[in-house]
Amino acid sequence: MTRNRTIMLAEFLTDTKVAAWLWLTLSCSMLFAVRLILARRVSRPDDYSGTRAFTPVEFAEMTIARYRLSTSVAVGGRQHKFDPITDTVHLTHDVANRRDSRAYATVSHELGHAIRFHDRRLLTVLYAKLGLWAPTAALTVTALSLAAKVFDVEALVYLSKWTGTAALQVAASSVTLGISTTAATALFAIVASDEWRTSFPLALTLMEQAGVFSEDDIAICRSSLKAAATTYLLPFAILPAFVIAL
């Protein structure tokens, strides 16, 4: 009896559809957990209790002047980012008012995006045009294709009659899954590569050029930037699920 159950369990787990869905579930859970940990690590202030000669905003303005950019700095909003459309570095009030190493690392990273954009670096320009919505959309299509492939098509039609059987059969095809997986991989590779190149070594170089940060400051910044950049690699943990299902 025990042997039969073991065989049944082995057959169940070796089924490509089940394996793909299990991988997707586990990798998504891991993705959210790791991203939460890394986000807390990046946002946690360091133990620096002194005062800097300039604020993060002033540091940004000095760097922009040194590189002779037309970029402006805006404080406010819920996220820090470089907007290539308006050529503006956006900083949250928290980052703009903090004077610890991680805040300056965040500013350096966003300034790095601005510098690379003005230098017309290919990956940065592609990233600026595509944004995060393109790889996210490709990953969403891939997930829907996997769901249509793993689950019974007729059951999905019953739940979503407006789609029709033909549309779901196309969505569940290996061709659709393969194309969307390839697109998601390529798009996330562009995003991850640009994020890493912006942080290493450009963002660290900007801090070193300022001439006021100690080796400990640079070490904290390197750790913070590495944690932030790692979050862009997490989607790759999901992609093997789609490859298994092909």
What residue ranges do the domains of the chain occupy?
Answer: 16-245
Could you read off the pLDDT of 148-199 as tens digits, one per residue? 666 655 445 554 555 555 555 555 566 677 777 788 888 888 888 999 999 9
Instruction: Tell me the torsion sign for CA atoms 195, 199, 90, 119.
Output: negative
Radius of gyration of the chain (CA): 23
Q: How many contiguous H segments (helices) and E segments (strands) does the chain have?
A: 13, 3
Per-residue pLDDT at 155: 47
Per-residue pLDDT at 33: 73
Q: Which of 81-85, 133-137, 203-207 has the lowest mean pLDDT?
A: 133-137
First to last CA, the chain: 33
Q: How confident is the model at residue 92 (pLDDT cuts 50, 70, 90)?
A: very high
Could you read off the pLDDT of 119-159 as tens digits, one per residue? 988 888 888 888 778 888 887 777 777 776 666 554 455 54
E strands in 123-166: none
Q: What is the 3-state secondary structure (H, E, C) of 2-50?
A: HHHHHHHHHHHHHCHHHHHHHHHHHHHHHHHHHHHHHHHHHHCCCCCCC
Q: How confident is the model at residue 52 (pLDDT cuts 50, 70, 90)?
A: confident
Per-residue pLDDT at 22: 67
The Cβ of residue 110 has, within 10 Å, a number of other Cβ atoms equal to 23
- Under DSSP, is residue 96 helix (H, G, I), strand (E, B) or coil? helix
Would the pLDDT of 81 be above 60? yes
- Under DSSP, is residue 81 helix (H, G, I), strand (E, B) or coil? strand
For 47, what's the count of Cα atoms within 13 Å in the CB-facing half-sphere?
A: 1
Question: pTM above 0.85?
Answer: no
Q: Angle CA(129)–CA(135)–CA(138) in degrees, nearest 5?
A: 125
- Under DSSP, is residue 234 helix (H, G, I), strand (E, B) or coil? helix
Give 74's strand partners: 90
Those residues whose C-beta lies under 8 Å from the C-beta of residue 62, and which sit 6 or more positions away, are 54, 210
Q: What is the mean pLDDT of the chain?
A: 77
Would the pLDDT of 15 be above 60? no
Distance CA 96, CA 56 (A): 6
